[in-house]
């Protein structure tokens, strides 16, 4: 039986990817950011996943305003790094897990969580920056990755409650897959940031820290946060945090927080990172 044993959350700031690709990780601005991931890098290398289900958002790379699926599951064999304007990042091609992805699609759709099946898709910084933060710069990514793209770009995005419940459906789906696979779920994006308009540069440390405090013990409380509250408190891009609730829903009711990191700012964003595992 496949089993989700741990979850991870992290921001996905594109400048973090550029710092890795351009060899700047030891520079004074960047070093504290990367230090915050050392514990999780080591932990994941000691308990490696066969598959990561990686919840992220596409930033008008694979999709555009012409077509915006709310939840889109990558069922392809491979996903190429997207060209986001500077050429594709020099990172390995992402190897998918078509069989498990197809199984998840079938199981969650029959469980009444309709999602879009994607058989060809390039993946942008939303997916590749978290991989780089946790796995560094290997010649190949050390595990398969199932991309789950969530619309947090065009209103209305899904609610936090929908995301939490969707995560629970994903866990049921994974656990009904017959092959023994060790699966991690990652919820990416956030924390508070706003990239445009009069409030560009907004960061809300109390809001972020409350989110970090609460997601482990009381995700139901976070599921009550409405879109307008995310906008007001966490900035226009803070809505990316609903993706963390998919990760949380896919873990057990009781979890352990193995590592917590918060750093302000990287580029325009408050970087938040958690490593959680299921308490048995």
Q: Candidates 1-9, 10-18, 80-88, 217-225 — which segment interacts with ligand DHB by CB under 6 A?
A: 10-18
Q: Candidates 40-48, 90-98, 109-117, 263-271 — which segment interacts with ligand DHB by CB under 6 A?
A: 263-271
Catalytic site residue from 12, 125, 252, 273: 125
268 binding ligand DHB? (CB under 6 A)? yes
Q: For ligand DHB, give the closer residue by CB, 1 or 200.
A: 200
Cross-sheet strand order for the sheet of 71-74: 116-118, 71-74, 144-150, 51-56, 182-188, 3-10, 269-278, 255-266
267 binding ligand DHB? (CB under 6 A)? yes
Is 125 a catalytic site residue?
yes
204 binding ligand DHB? (CB under 6 A)? no
Q: Considering only residues 220-239, where is the footprint of ligand DHB by CB under 6 A?
A: 237
Question: Quick one: which of 59, 103, 144, 248 contacts ligand DHB (CB under 6 A)?
Answer: 59
144 binding ligand DHB? (CB under 6 A)? no
- Other C-beta atoms within 10 Å of 165: how many? 18
**139/132 Cα distance (integer angstroms):** 11
Three-state SS at 113: coil
Q: For ligand DHB, give the closer residue by CB, 40 or 57.
A: 57
Catalytic site residue from 193, 210, 227, 273: 193
Phi-psi region of 204 (alpha: psi -120 to 50; beta: other; left: phi over 0): beta
130 binding ligand DHB? (CB under 6 A)? no
User: Residue 160's closest CA among 210, 211, 118?
Assistant: 211
Q: Candidates 65-73, 198-206, 212-220, 262-270 — which segment interacts with ligand DHB by CB under 6 A?
A: 262-270
**154/232 Cα distance (integer angstroms):** 17
For residue 142, the cross-strand partners are none
Q: Are 29 and 207 in contact (CB under 8 A)?
A: no
Three-state SS at 8: strand
Minimum separation from the CB atom of position 195 to ligand DHB (A): 6
Using CB under 6 A as the criterion, which residues of the chain lie in contact with ligand DHB when the complex forms? 12-15, 59, 193, 195, 237, 267-269
The catalytic residues are 125, 193
């Amino acid at each position: 039986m496949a089993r989700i044993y741990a979850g991870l959350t992290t921001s996905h700031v594109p400048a973090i990817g550029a710092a890795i690709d351009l060899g700047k990780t030891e520079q004074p601005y960047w070093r504290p950011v990367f230090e915050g991931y050392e514990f999780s890098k080591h932990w994941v290398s000691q308990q490696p996943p066969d598959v990561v289900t990686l919840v992220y958002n596409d930033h008008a790379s694979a999709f555009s305003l012409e077509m915006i699926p709310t939840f889109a599951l990558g069922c392809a064999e491979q996903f190429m790094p997207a060209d986001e304007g500077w050429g594709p990042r020099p990172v390995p091609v992402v190897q998918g897990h078509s069989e498990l992805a197809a199984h998840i699609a079938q199981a969650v759709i029959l469980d009444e969580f309709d999602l879009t099946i994607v058989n060809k898709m390039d993946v942008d910084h939303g997916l590749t920056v978290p991989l780089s933060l946790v796995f560094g710069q290997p010649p190949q990514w050390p595990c398969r990755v199932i991309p789950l793209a969530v619309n947090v770009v065009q209103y209305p995005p899904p609610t936090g409650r929908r995301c939490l419940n969707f995560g629970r459906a994903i866990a049921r789906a994974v656990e009904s897959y017959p092959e023994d696979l060790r699966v991690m779920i990652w919820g990416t994006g956030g924390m508070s940031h706003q990239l445009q308009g009069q409030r560009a540069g907004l960061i809300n440390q109390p809001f972020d820290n409350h989110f970090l405090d609460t997601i482990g013990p009381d995700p139901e409380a976070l599921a009550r946060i409405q879109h307008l509250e995310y906008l007001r408190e966490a900035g226009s891009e803070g809505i990316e945090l609903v993706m963390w609730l998919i990760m949380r829903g896919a873990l057990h009711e009781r979890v352990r927080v193995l590592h917590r990191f918060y750093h302000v700012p990287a580029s325009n964003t408050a970087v938040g990172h958690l490593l959680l595992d299921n308490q048995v």
